[in-house]
């Protein structure tokens, strides 16, 4: 429970954010550090410097601070541009050359500071979402759904720390990451940008990624993080990006908000708003979302930035405002502090129109001056936290040193994410197998292992990131002992069937690397989870040949349905980035024992969506009473993941066994003895699940309430102690449309661990 003590900042300011940073740690419950606490809502007190600046700035300067524009819009005469618009933020790299970017940003900073009456520098932002993925030579880490599969939040922190180091060295102060949206619908093109469908697993990852980006350097935060997209963005009813979401309050509160709250507790400086509408209201126009929930309930005190041209979208897409000026009024009054108006290609929504509208609206009193001052204070406080008033510049010398590092880390994350979906004993292959055929569309394709947001929005452009493909990785893994043959196929074409058939017949083992090509945002929306026909055909061909074969999947979501009927063994490798090929080769040839677990449910098809493990009962499979047409049985359940060894569980304990409801966010220790009873060493993730048995408001069928990952040699046994909290099962009591406070309801909670069915009971009184 949080207290009422004063938590002053060194300059005398008090922020709830700082207090939450200091107290809302992972220790108790990352998702709910403070979530259930009766926190006082404090008035924000900004620093003396920020207060003075706000009081001295002209309206023109203030409007500038509330503007974010793409660096490529600055043009050939930066001084003239900065004098005219004085943007508080620039975004997007001017070049993919790290040194060139550092130099460009430094030059732009000179021009902007010169033009800014109070010498306030801009803050420079980029989407560095899986490494510093806009820059040539940068190490690319797995996308977030792969990080989720490791169940090891240290990876979220360490990859973000490395990214943060390379950001600051290349002139970038701010990354629009991490995504705190839950992955509930795999049709959605942004599924891979989130960590998990589970609120608690996501929360732990989000918190650590924020901490990693915002690590301190010389007393300031090295880079600012953005938790996005607030909120409810990931569950558009039709699965298509930026189409309306309809989310019951109970689900919204219980499932969608915790990862944001965890990011806020970890200190996230900024929040980006959901471009879509929730229950009919565009998030950008929602005071309820941006003020009542984000500020008053979750305690966020940082900067709220819009997403791309979303005031315009309020008119053109949502039909919610009559014109962009009206949208500006709605958006700023709802709580947007900075408008992302990057490009001048939309005539009715340029930096010029936005600034003109905002000025007119303030002058007419339709936007109160206090709201503008509050927004500007948030922008300036962010810059202050980053140390930009002291030194906004990059050292181009460092830029050349830092890129391309952390490959070992990239390998570890990719290897620990690899998830063995099924295996009839085919895997691992013997590195001395003789001849191995490596085939499929992604066997040697850098773009397919990266996904979107990698040196390009939709796919890798001309500059390829450093990458070890599966073909490279397998060649290294087998050394001279085995002959490697490569027969590529296409994502959507399979016009070399006879060559593949022949090569497969001649081989002793076949690895088929399947899956999706890269995509981002709405371009990735899909109506099917089947693999393309060409790949299904490839699998049929390999199946008919009879040589032992395994499928590896690179995809941004659970992609593949009936294909699993014919795959003797299958591995999910997510979008693993630079070291993906080494990780895959090591898993397939047994140097690594796969231990990843799915951070999402793998549905049998789109017909059964939304199919998530934390749905409400009844469970529509396994009862024997369900008509066959309504089966919800997924192909692979949430948390699924096999190993080359076997683990046995015994002696599950829960301590304490009873807790009072008002102390529900108190830590409980769940422990279980795990023994490696197989013949190989291996890691084993132990998720702890809970659900409430019965009650007026049913609890979701399973929820993760804690997890740990252990390494065990053959025959080794250990007691895995998992710090958990029942607070994750807090729900909104009351009737269908209740908006009551989130609470942990008294009752009996069933606790299980890992794949073991035995239950213990925790009683909340
Ligand atoms: C739009 C995307 O929705 C958002 O995630 C991203 O940060 C911005 N564009 C900037 O690229």
Judged against a pLDDT cut of 60, whether residue 20 lies above it is answered with no
Ligand 1 atom 4: residue of nearest CA: 307
**Residue 343: predicted pLDDT:** 87
**Residue 696: predicted pLDDT:** 80
- Is the C-beta atom of 308 inside 6 A of ligand 1? yes
Rounded mean pLDDT of 395-405? 88
Judged against a pLDDT cut of 80, whether residue 239 lies above it is answered with yes
* Ligand 1 centroid, distance to 254 Cα (angstroms): 25
Share of the chain above pLDDT 90, in %: 87
Q: Dihedral of CA 347/66/157/290: which sign?
A: negative
Share of the chain above pLDDT 70, in %: 93
> Which atom belonging to ligand 1 lies closest to the Cα atom of 457?
11
Let me know: does 173 contact 179? Beta carbons within 8 Å. no
> Is position 310 annotated as part of the catalytic site?
no
**Residue 651: predicted pLDDT:** 96
Ligand 1 atom 9: residue of nearest CA: 308
Let me know: does 42 contact 78? Beta carbons within 8 Å. no
List of E strands, 138-266: 174-175, 216-217, 220-221, 226-230
**Residue 442: predicted pLDDT:** 98
Q: In terms of pLDDT, which residue wins out, 570 or 662?
A: 570
- Chain-centre distance of CA 86, in angstroms? 32
Q: How confident is the model at residue 701 (pLDDT cuts 50, 70, 90)?
A: confident
Q: In terms of pLDDT, which residue wins out, 755 or 119?
A: 119
CATH number for the domain running over 419-595: 3.40.50.1700
Q: How confident is the model at residue 22 (pLDDT cuts 50, 70, 90)?
A: very low
* Ligand 1 centroid, distance to 274 Cα (angstroms): 10
Q: How confident is the model at residue 44 (pLDDT cuts 50, 70, 90)?
A: low
- Is the C-beta atom of 220 inside 6 A of ligand 1? no
Ligand 1 atom 1: residue of nearest CA: 308
Instruction: Find the angle CA(618)-CA(624)-CA(628) to the nearest 5 degrees.
Output: 85
Judged against a pLDDT cut of 60, whether residue 129 lies above it is answered with yes
Q: How confident is the model at residue 300 (pLDDT cuts 50, 70, 90)?
A: very high
Ligand 1 atom 3: residue of nearest CA: 307
**Residue 695: predicted pLDDT:** 83
- Is the C-beta atom of 307 inside 6 A of ligand 1? yes
**Residue 699: predicted pLDDT:** 81
> Which atom belonging to ligand 1 lies closest to the Cα atom of 275?
3
**Residue 344: predicted pLDDT:** 87
- Is the C-beta atom of 457 inside 6 A of ligand 1? no
For 187-227, write each residue's pLDDT tens digit: 999 999 999 999 999 999 999 999 999 999 989 999 999 99
- Is the C-beta atom of 233 inside 6 A of ligand 1? no
| Average pLDDT for the chain | 92
> Which atom belonging to ligand 1 lies closest to the Cα atom of 176?
7
- Is the C-beta atom of 429 inside 6 A of ligand 1? no
* Ligand 1 centroid, distance to 307 Cα (angstroms): 6
- Is the C-beta atom of 684 inside 6 A of ligand 1? no
Ligand 1 atom 7: residue of nearest CA: 176
> Which atom belonging to ligand 1 lies closest to the Cα atom of 342?
10
Give SS3 for 311.
helix
**Residue 403: predicted pLDDT:** 81
Best residue among 180, 340, 346, 525 to mutate for probing ligand 1, ranked by most atoms within 8 Å of CB: 340
Q: What burial letters (b/e) apply to 195-208, b meaning 16+ CB within 10 Å?
A: bbbbbbbbbbbbbb
DSSP state at residue 740: P
Q: What burial letters (b/e) apply to 612-634, b meaning 16+ CB within 10 Å?
A: bbbbeeeebeeeeeeeeeeebeb
Ligand 1 atom 11: residue of nearest CA: 127
Best residue among 68, 127, 338, 341 to mutate for probing ligand 1, ranked by most atoms within 8 Å of CB: 127
pTM, two decimals, is 0.95
**Residue 618: predicted pLDDT:** 76
Integer Cα distance of 219 and 210 in angstroms: 17
**Residue 39: predicted pLDDT:** 43
- Is the C-beta atom of 228 inside 6 A of ligand 1? yes
Rounded mean pLDDT of 330-358? 96
> Which atom belonging to ligand 1 lies closest to the Cα atom of 177?
7
Judged against a pLDDT cut of 70, whether residue 623 lies above it is answered with no
Please state the domain extents for the chain: 4-400, 419-595, 645-764
Taking alpha carbons only, the member of 1, 201, 200, 3 closest to residue 661 is 1
Rounded mean pLDDT of 291-320? 96
For 520-571, write each residue's pLDDT tens digit: 999 999 999 999 999 999 999 999 999 999 999 999 999 999 999 999 999 9
For 426-447, write each residue's pLDDT tens digit: 999 999 999 999 999 999 999 9
Torsion, Cα 499 502 506 509, to 10 degrees, reads 70
For 272-281, write each residue's pLDDT tens digit: 999 999 999 9
Rounded mean pLDDT of 469-496? 97
Best residue among 270, 272, 457, 522 to mutate for probing ligand 1, ranked by most atoms within 8 Å of CB: 272
Best residue among 130, 229, 308 to mutate for probing ligand 1, ranked by most atoms within 8 Å of CB: 308
Q: How many helices (H) and strands (E) does the chain have?
A: 22, 26
Judged against a pLDDT cut of 90, whether residue 694 lies above it is answered with no
Judged against a pLDDT cut of 80, whether residue 654 lies above it is answered with yes
For the 645-764 domain, the top CATH level (class) is: mainly beta
Give SS3 for 257.
helix
For 240-253, write each residue's pLDDT tens digit: 999 999 999 999 99
**Residue 89: predicted pLDDT:** 98
* Ligand 1 centroid, distance to 272 Cα (angstroms): 9
**Residue 34: predicted pLDDT:** 42
Among 97, 181, 241, 307, the one annotated catalytic = 307
- Is the C-beta atom of 127 inside 6 A of ligand 1? yes
**Residue 241: predicted pLDDT:** 97
**Residue 624: predicted pLDDT:** 53
Q: In terms of pLDDT, which residue wins out, 496 or 11?
A: 496
CATH of 4-400, one of 1.20.1300.10, 3.20.20.300, 3.30.70.100, 3.50.50.60: 3.20.20.300
Best residue among 177, 236, 307, 342 to mutate for probing ligand 1, ranked by most atoms within 8 Å of CB: 307
């Amino acid at each position: 429970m949080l207290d009422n003590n004063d938590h002053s900042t060194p300059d005398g300011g008090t922020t709830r954010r700082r207090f939450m940073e200091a107290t809302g740690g992972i220790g108790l419950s990352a998702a709910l550090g403070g979530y259930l606490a009766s926190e006082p809502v404090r008035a924000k007190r900004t620093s003396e410097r920020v207060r003075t600046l706000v009081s001295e700035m002209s309206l023109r300067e203030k409007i500038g601070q509330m503007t974010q524009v793409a660096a490529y819009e600055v043009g050939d005469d930066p001084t003239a541009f900065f004098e005219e618009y004085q943007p508080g933020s620039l975004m997007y790299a001017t070049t993919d050359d790290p040194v060139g970017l550092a130099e460009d940003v430094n030059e732009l900073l000179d021009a902007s500071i010169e033009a800014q009456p109070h010498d306030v520098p801009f803050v420079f932002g980029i989407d560095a979402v899986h490494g510093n993925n806009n820059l040539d030579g940068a190490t690319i880490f797995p996308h977030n759904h792969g990080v989720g599969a490791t169940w090891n939040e240290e990876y979220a922190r360490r990859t973000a720390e490395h990214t943060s180091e390379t950001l600051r060295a290349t002139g970038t102060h701010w990354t629009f990451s991490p995504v705190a949206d839950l992955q509930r619908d795999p049709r959605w093109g942004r599924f891979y940008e989130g960590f998990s469908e589970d609120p608690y697993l996501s929360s732990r990852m989000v918190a650590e990624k924020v901490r990693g980006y915002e690590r301190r350097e010389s007393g300031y935060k090295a880079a600012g993080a953005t938790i996005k997209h607030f909120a409810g963005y990931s569950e558009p009813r039709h699965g298509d990006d930026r189409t309306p979401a309809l989310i019951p309050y109970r689900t919204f509160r219980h499932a969608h908000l915790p990862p944001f709250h965890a990011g806020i507790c970890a200190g996230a400086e900024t929040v980006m708003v959901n471009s879509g509408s929730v229950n009919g209201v565009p998030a950008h126009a929602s005071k309820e979302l941006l003020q009542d929930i984000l500020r008053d309930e979750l305690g966020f005190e940082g900067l709220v930035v819009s997403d791309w041209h979303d005031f315009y979208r309020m008119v053109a897409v949502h039909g919610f405002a009559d014109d962009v000026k009206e949208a500006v009024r709605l958006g700023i009054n709802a709580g947007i502090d900075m408008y992302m108006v990057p490009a001048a290609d939309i005539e009715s929504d340029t930096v010029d129109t936005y600034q003109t509208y905002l000025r007119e609206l303030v002058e007419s009193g339709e936007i109160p001056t206090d709201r503008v001052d509050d927004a500007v204070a948030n922008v300036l406080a962010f810059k202050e936290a980053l140390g930009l008033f002291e030194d906004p510049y990059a050292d181009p010398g460092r830029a050349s040193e830092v890129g391309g590092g952390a490959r070992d880390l990239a390998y570890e994350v990719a290897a620990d994410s690899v998830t063995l979906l099924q295996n009839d004993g085919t895997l691992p292959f013997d590195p001395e197998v003789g001849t191995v055929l490596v085939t499929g569309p992604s066997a040697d394709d850098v773009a397919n292992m990266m996904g979107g947001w990698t040196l390009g929005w939709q796919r890798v452009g001309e500059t390829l990131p450093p990458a070890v493909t599966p073909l490279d990785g397998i060649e290294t893994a087998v050394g001279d002992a085995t002959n490697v043959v490569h027969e590529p196929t296409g994502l959507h074409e399979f016009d070399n069937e006879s060559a593949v058939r022949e090569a497969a017949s001649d081989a002793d083992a076949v690895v088929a690397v399947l899956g999706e090509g890269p995509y981002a945002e709405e371009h990735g929306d899909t109506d099917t989870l089947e693999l393309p026909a060409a790949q299904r055909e490839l699998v049929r061909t390999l199946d008919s040949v009879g040589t032992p074969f395994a499928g590896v999947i690179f995809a941004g979501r659970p992609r593949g349905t009936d294909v699993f009927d014919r795959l003797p063994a299958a591995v999910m490798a997510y979008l693993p980035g630079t070291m993906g090929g080494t990780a895959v080769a090591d898993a397939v040839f047994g140097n690594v024992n796969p231990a990843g677990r799915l951070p999402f449910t793998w549905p049998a098809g789109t017909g059964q969506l939304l199919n998530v493990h934390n749905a409400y009962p009844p469970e529509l499979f396994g009862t024997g009473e369900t008509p066959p047409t309504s089966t919800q049985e997924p192909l692979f359940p949430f948390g699924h993941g096999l190993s080359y060894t076997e683990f046995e569980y015994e002696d599950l304990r829960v301590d304490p066994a009873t807790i009072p409801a008002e102390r529900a966010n108190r830590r409980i220790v769940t422990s279980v003895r795990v023994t490696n009873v197989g013949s190989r060493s291996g890691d084993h993730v132990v998720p702890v699940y809970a659900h409430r048995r019965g009650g007026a408001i049913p609890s979701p069928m399973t929820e993760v309430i804690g997890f740990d990952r252990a390494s065990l040699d053959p025959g080794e046994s250990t007691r895995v102690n998992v710090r958990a909290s029942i607070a994750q099962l807090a729900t909104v009591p009351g009737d269908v449309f209740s908006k009551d406070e989130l609470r942990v309801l008294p009752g009996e909670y069933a606790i299980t661990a890992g794949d073991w069915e035995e239950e213990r009971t925790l009683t909340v009184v």
